[in-house]
Amino acid sequence: MAPMGIRLSPLGVAVFCLLGLGVLYHLYSGFLAGRFSLFGLGGEPAGGPAAAGPAAAADGGSVDLREMLAVAVLAAVRGGDEVRRVRESNVLHEKSKGKTREGADDKMTSGDVLSNRKMFYLLKTAFPNVQINTEEHVDATDQEVILWDRKIPEDILKEIATPKEVPAESVTVWIDPLDATQEYTEDLRKYVTTMVCVAVYGKPVLGVIHKPFSEYTAWAMVDGGSNVKARSSYNEKTPRIVVSRSHSGMVKQVALQTFGNQTTIIPAGGAGYKVLALLDVPDKNQEKADVYIHVTYIKKWDICAGNAILKALGGHMTTLNGEEISYTGSDGIDGGLLASIGMNHQALVKKLPDLEKMGHK
């Protein structure tokens, strides 16, 4: 006989244990589902978001995209301060990193290097577990610990009410510390931008384009919010086409062949500037265009932020064949670029001539 008359019924113990396990399971699965809800980003690894969540939690933890946006804006502005300071000093220390495939000088200045240092270390210190790809070399012996005060600006909080958590290992950040370096060396300041992009599973999700000489910043998050919008109308029939002024290749021939001789071509520097030309940007130095076309090789840090912003606003940036661009893996893309908003993008793709037949490649 049990002492004090307490007898444990085996059935009671079993029911109690089962109930306990049920409560634990409920708490655990609910917690993870909330933490890693990917708010319609798609592109999760095989097995879906349920597979992504626990695996990622065990590895690099999660990051909040709303916080990443706050730091990305700060990084673009701080990098831009360096870009402006160097330009105003008139001591650019301009040099060539080599040649592009087409034989143009691939330039770099102190503006690129110092902006890169600020932008990279701000993002890396705030988010040590995410992959960051940047245009310029990061000097590990010249580190700068720049702490983020963890404040999310009001305009971001107003647009994006809740945190957006994703697994840290799903994220790739792309930094362009100085877009339009060629034009920067020519003192064509309006074309210059600093850019940050965050891709999740290779899809561009948030983008920041900052103009250091106008102190204007555009940002947007797919399924989140933005501080910039599309214009109310675009000319689809005879569009104004913005193209590269220093890496043009056959772009003018392509544009005229596609849209006819009545089409206006606007040569401009910087991929960031050219994406802003498609949007409603309150900057008197910003030209306006209906379509952005690029035909030569281009790097992902040049285009990711613009791609994310266009996507967030309902526009498109694809290769000239209409293929989506994946922002993981290699640094560059070969298939050219077509960017549009407020028009039928696939119809534009169909109109474009076959570049291979035009002898582009």
Ligand X SMILES: Nc1ncnc2c1ncn2[C@@H]1O[C@H](COP(=O)(O)O)[C@@H](OP(=O)(O)O)[C@H]1O
In the complex, the residues that contact ligand X under the rule CB under 6 A are: 100-102, 135, 176, 178-181, 244, 246-247, 269-271, 296-299, 302
CA dihedral for 46, 51, 57, 61, sign (positive or negative): positive
CB of 236 within 8 A of CB of 343? yes
CA dihedral for 278, 280, 286, 288, sign (positive or negative): positive
Instruction: Determine whether 223 is an active site residue.
Output: no
Q: Please, which residue, 35 or 85, has the CB nearer to Mg ion?
A: 85
Which one of residues 67, 82, 169, 176 is an interface residue with Mg ion (CB under 5 A)? 176
In the complex, what is the shortest distance from the CB of residue 264 to Mg ion, in angstroms, rounded to a whole number? 27
Q: Which among 315, 337, 316, 191 has a CA at the least distance from the CA of 255?
A: 337
Hey, what are 172's tokens? Answer: 């790739």
In the complex, what is the shortest distance from the CB of residue 301 to Mg ion, in angstroms, rounded to a whole number? 7
Q: Please, which residue, 56 or 119, has the CB nearer to Mg ion?
A: 119
Which one of residues 44, 135, 183, 290 is an interface residue with Mg ion (CB under 5 A)? 135
| Beta-bridge partners for 198 | 173, 206
In the complex, what is the shortest distance from the CB of residue 233 to Mg ion, in angstroms, rounded to a whole number? 32
Q: Please, which residue, 165 or 176, has the CB nearer to Mg ion?
A: 176
Catalytic residue selected from 109, 134, 172, 181: 181
Instruction: Determine whether 296 is an active site residue.
Output: no
176 is in an annotated binding site: yes
The radius of gyration computed from the CA coordinates of the chain, to the nearest angstrom, equals 24
Classify 221 as helix, strand or coil: strand
CB of 328 within 8 A of CB of 199? yes
Contacts of 121 (CB under 8 A, 6+ apart): 143, 144, 145, 146
Asked if 180 is part of the footprint of Mg ion (rule: CB under 5 A), the reply reads no
Which one of residues 41, 178, 275, 312 is an interface residue with Mg ion (CB under 5 A)? 178
* Annotated binding-site ranges for Mg(2+): 135, 176, 178-179, 302
Which stretches of the chain bind Mg ion, using CB under 5 A? 135, 176, 178
Catalytic residues: 112, 181
